[in-house]
Amino acid sequence: MRRALLAMAVAASPIVAEADPLRLRGDALATTASPAGLLTLEASGQQTSNLSAEAVVWVAGQPTPGQDTRGDVLVIALKAKDKKGRASGTLGRFVASIGALRPVHVDGAGGRVHLPQRFDVEAYGGVPVVPGLATSRSWDWMFGSRLSRKLGDWGSAGVAYLQQRDDAQIATEEVGFDAGAAFGKADNAAAKLAYDLAGEGVAEVSFMATHKEGSLRTDVFAVHRSPSHILPATSLFSVLGDYASERAGGTLTWKAAPRLDLGADLGARRSGTEMGPLLVGRAKLKLDDRGRSALTGEVRRDGVGADEWTGLRGAARYALTNEFGVATELELVIPDEDRGLGRVWPWALAAVSWDRGDWHAAVAAEASASPTDVRRFDVLGTLGRSWGLK
Amino acid sequence: MTKRIVILAFLLVGACAGVLGLSKSQPQPFPHRAHVTKGVPCTRCHVGISEDDGSKLHIPDDTTCVECHQKPHDSRPCLGCHTTEGKLAELMEAREHLVFQHKAHFKEVKGNCARCHVGVAEGDTRMRPPMAACFKCHDQQAASNASRCDACHKDLEDSGTLPATHLAHDADWLSEHGLRAASSGELCQSCHKEAFCASCHGQTVAALPATMKFGNPFSPSVHRAGFASRHSLEAHSEPGTCTTCHQPERCATCHIAKGVAGDGRRSPHPPGWVGLTASENLHGREARRDPASCAACHDGGGQSLCIGCHKVGGVGGNPHPPGWSSRISLSSAPCRFCHPIGSRP
């Protein structure tokens, strides 16, 4: 017995040596808009290099819009992995995002195992998260899994399956395929496809390829999405069929000077029979090498059919001292058809922030005119403190 | 005309050279390469680095410089000008977030610092060894297969470290991260905690990062700035996008809470939404275009609302598109709303 205790003590000693301190962070947000007050508490700790935990909870002064709750848990998860990293697991509330399957917020467990021949298996299962600390729903559960294989040092491919049931009825049944590859240092590509098995149709296909040449990066992308196949299969609207929405184009990013980044998106959207442009021009100028002070500007032409719009956005941040900074942001949205809701929808914010060691504070004034408010003025304030961060 | 534009562009770039980071009048990187090529050993300035245990930075002070530069051209501290702004903070960040001791490596490379600090061969701007230099000796594949980034990196998310070998943090990360993460999810998790994904994709999000960090206009966010104004335009332009994170009923509950719909307020639908003839019925086409938008308000009461007309033998006719098929049993929702047990499909 004594020998066993001694062995346990010896085994535990490096654990203590490797342990990271408990980290805590608290942020309070007060606004004149709802929710008027919000307190977020975040904690994380690593007992050993193989065992860690984190939690994020919040309480609000009044129920958040769209949610009849004054407090909730965003994440509470315990994570463990074996010493060689061949297997890992998560228990608690977390967002499960695997392969081409849609990300889901789940109360349950998940894990991954590296198998021989460079195969990986990952899976999760549990109850879908709904706002509120308690749920009266029954027979709601979900399960997702993915089998993937690494392809040399240059890529991987995987196939995944998801089933979700609400009140024991199939709400989502989906199979996904994903692949990613890097061709040398300059080129890479990724693609994924999600197929709705419950409604039998493609839910989403997307593709992206990137080429880097010196300070110039070029991306091409294409996305096809079918809204009715993204809805829960228990929805009456999933039986109507739909017009797919599509987006395709390219993005250019150019580091024109050490402190100047320029970018442009050139593309098009299609929704049903309607086409629309997707044109963006953007520039960002850092005013110091670390980018603590910077300016940015963006022009956008977007939307489809009667919902086309033009947008202008400018933002600036200036570090007055090591501790104090000011920031401002302005956005103008000009819809092609105002429908009596205003020809220009401006939005502006001016903020002062303060950072000193573990403390952070900021206060801002926000003003806007939107389809719902002829004019609106809000004041925001935040105060945060960290403990245990190095 | 073209000539004038070219001249004007040159003048403009010249005038803005300092702002763009092109000017030589600003503090420059320390001339490491010049010292190395003149045969000055690294340890002559970086005193004690061969015994470094990871606790100090070993930055030389002015007394070290004046051992050779006996007549300084300026009375100010040498590193005030002979190093770029933020370099010291970068070194401190590396010291805090890397598991590294020079002492252990010094013997292995037999005092040849350039074996890791390969950037000195090209100039003075990239003195920190690239990760590729580590993998000359250390087994990258083993670390990668085991997802053990923390074998060398500490607190990756806090440090904001983005190794050059990693994908997709430049350009439009917001648009492409979902696609990249599909095949590289484990790579994302090696730096990001659970809360990172949940802060946007969670069903219990109280306030998005853009709201909590309103003082930083450069943080990427889907819902940034005047999103509340333009969200209906964006939702209509790419139907289904909102549903990838939000439950469909989110729209209705929020609109009711904000007082812009529901609760007996007038119908948001235009004239001609529902009529007796096909030309008077806009709702069918719009429902096919964006079914999630309809489901946002009607998925509860919609069952009685729609199937009053769209039932087997009803005046609304068959709502299914040509070639419709489904694996769902007729006795399950939503089929059973229109197809009672015993009715023909």
Chain B interface, best mutation among A113, A239, A298, by max B CB count within 10 A: A239
- Characterize A87-109 residue by residue with b for buried, 16 or more Cβ atoms within 10 angstroms of its Cβ, and e for exposed: ebebbbbbbbbbbbbbbbbbbbb
Q: At residue A361, does pLDDT exceed 90?
A: yes
Residues 6+ apart with CB under 8 A from A102: A162, A172, A174, A194, A230, B244
- Whether B262 and B255 have beta carbons less than 8 Å apart is answered as yes
Q: At residue A295, does pLDDT exceed 90?
A: yes
A264: left (phi over 0), alpha (psi -120 to 50) or beta: beta
pLDDT of residue B180: 83
Name chain B contacts of A271, Cβ cutoff 8 Å.
Answer: 236-239, 289
Q: Is B324 an interface residue toward A (CB < 8 Å)? A: yes
- Nearest Cα neighbor of A89 from A103, A99, A79, A76 is A79
Q: How far is CA B93 from CA A263, A390, B156, B259, in A?
A: 29, 10, 11, 48
Q: Which amino acid is present at B36?
A: V
Angle (CA) A159-B243-B189 rounded to 5° is 50
Strand A187-196 vs strand A141-151: parallel, antiparallel, or unpaired? unpaired
Q: Is B193 an interface residue toward A (CB < 8 Å)? A: yes
pLDDT of residue A9: 41
Measured between CB atoms, which of B186, B211, B215 is closest to A327? Answer: B215
Instruction: Give the integer Cα–Cα distance in Å for A229 and A142.
Output: 17
Q: Sign of dihedral through CA atoms B249, B251, B257, B260?
A: negative
- Nearest Cα neighbor of A67 from A78, A75, A59 is A59
pLDDT > 90 fraction of chain A, expressed in percent and rounded: 53
Average of per-residue pLDDT across A154-177: 91
- Whether B92 and B80 have beta carbons less than 8 Å apart is answered as no
Q: What H or E segment, with its residue span, contains residue A47? A: strand A37-48
- Nearest Cα neighbor of A92 from B194, B209, B188 is B194
Between A268 and A18, the more confident residue is A268
Instruction: Give the integer Cα–Cα distance in Å for A359 and A323.
Output: 10
Name chain A contacts of B141, Cβ cutoff 8 Å.
Answer: 153
- Nearest Cα neighbor of B30 from B131, B126, B130 is B126
Report the chain B residue with the minimal C-alpha distance to residue A44. Answer: B193
**Interface contact B226-A346, CB threshold 8 A:** yes
A199: distance to nearest CA of chain B, Å?
A: 5
Instruction: Give the integer Cα–Cα distance in Å for B240 and B293.
Output: 8
B319: distance to nearest CA of chain A, Å?
A: 6
- Nearest Cα neighbor of A94 from B241, B250, B176, B193 is B193
Instruction: Give the integer Cα–Cα distance in Å for A134 and A259.
Output: 50
SS3 content of chain B, % helix, strand, coil (to 5): 45, 0, 50
Residue B14, Cβ density class (10 Å: 0-12 exposed, 13-18 middle, ≥19 buried):
exposed
- Count of other CB atoms within 10 angstroms of residue B8: 10
Q: What mean pLDDT is reported for chain A? A: 86
CA B65 from chain center: how many Å?
Answer: 42
- Count of other CB atoms within 10 angstroms of residue A268: 14
Instruction: Give the integer Cα–Cα distance in Å for B33 and B36.
Output: 5
Crossing angle (nearest 10°) for helices B291-298 and B249-258: 60
A93: distance to nearest CA of chain B, Å?
A: 9
Q: Which two tokens stand for residue B212?
A: 């909590």
**Interface contact A307-B325, CB threshold 8 A:** no
Strand A201-213 vs strand A87-96: parallel, antiparallel, or unpaired? unpaired
- Whether A268 and A248 have beta carbons less than 8 Å apart is answered as yes
Q: Which amino acid is present at B1?
A: M
CA B316 from chain center: how many Å?
Answer: 47
pLDDT of residue A25: 92
**Interface contact A88-B147, CB threshold 8 A:** yes
Name chain B contacts of A304, Cβ cutoff 8 Å.
Answer: 236-237
**Interface contact B147-A85, CB threshold 8 A:** yes
**Interface contact A94-B194, CB threshold 8 A:** yes
Measured between CB atoms, which of B172, B258, B288 is closest to A240? Answer: B288
- Nearest Cα neighbor of B284 from A303, A239, A181, A114 is A239
Instruction: Give the integer Cα–Cα distance in Å for A230 and A249.
Output: 23
Q: Given pLDDT bands bounded at 50, 70 and 90, which one contains residue A259? A: confident
Q: At residue A135, does pLDDT exceed 60?
A: no
Instruction: Give the integer Cα–Cα distance in Å for A113 and A45.
Output: 23
pLDDT of residue A248: 95
Range in A212-226, A290-304, B74-88, B200-214 with the lowest mean pLDDT: B74-88
In chain B, alpha helices (H): 2-15, 17-20, 32-37, 42-45, 62-65, 78-81, 87-97, 102-108, 131-134, 140-145, 156-159, 173-189, 194-201, 209-212, 227-237, 249-258, 283-289, 291-298, 302-307, 335-338
Report the chain B residue with the minimal C-alpha distance to residue A259. Answer: B20
Instruction: Give the integer Cα–Cα distance in Å for A227 and A206.
Output: 14
Q: What is the pLDDT of residues A323-344, one digit of tens each?
A: 999 999 999 999 998 777 788 9
Report the chain A residue with the minimal C-alpha distance to residue B171. Answer: A253
- Nearest Cα neighbor of B193 from A95, A327, A165 is A95
**Interface contact B334-A362, CB threshold 8 A:** no
Q: Is B240 an interface residue toward A (CB < 8 Å)? A: yes
Instruction: Give the integer Cα–Cα distance in Å for A204 and A227.
Output: 9
Greatest distance between any 2 Cα atoms in chain A = 83
Report the chain B residue with the minimal C-alpha distance to residue A204. Answer: B240
B315: distance to nearest CA of chain A, Å?
A: 16
Measured between CB atoms, which of A225, A240, A380 is closest to B238? Answer: A225
Q: Which two tokens stand for residue B246?
A: 């939000």
Instruction: Give the integer Cα–Cα distance in Å for A305 and A335.
Output: 11
Q: What H or E segment, with its residue span, contains residue A93? A: strand A87-96
Average of per-residue pLDDT across A45-52: 81
pLDDT in tens, chain B (345 residues): 788 888 888 887 777 777 777 666 667 778 888 888 888 888 888 888 888 877 777 888 888 888 888 877 777 788 777 877 677 777 887 887 788 888 888 888 888 888 888 887 777 777 788 777 887 787 666 666 555 677 787 776 666 665 544 545 666 777 888 888 888 788 788 778 888 899 888 888 888 888 888 888 888 788 888 888 888 888 888 887 887 777 777 777 777 776 666 555 566 777 777 777 766 778 888 888 888 778 877 776 666 677 777 777 777 778 888 887 777 777 777 887 777 665 554
Q: At residue A184, does pLDDT exceed 50?
A: yes
Instruction: Find which of A7-16, A135-144, A227-236, B268-277 is predicted with most confidence, using mean pLDDT.
Output: A227-236
**Interface contact A289-B257, CB threshold 8 A:** no
Measured between CB atoms, which of A256, A259, A271 is closest to B19? Answer: A259
Q: What is the pLDDT of residues A59-72, one digit of tens each?
A: 988 776 656 678 88
pLDDT of residue B343: 54
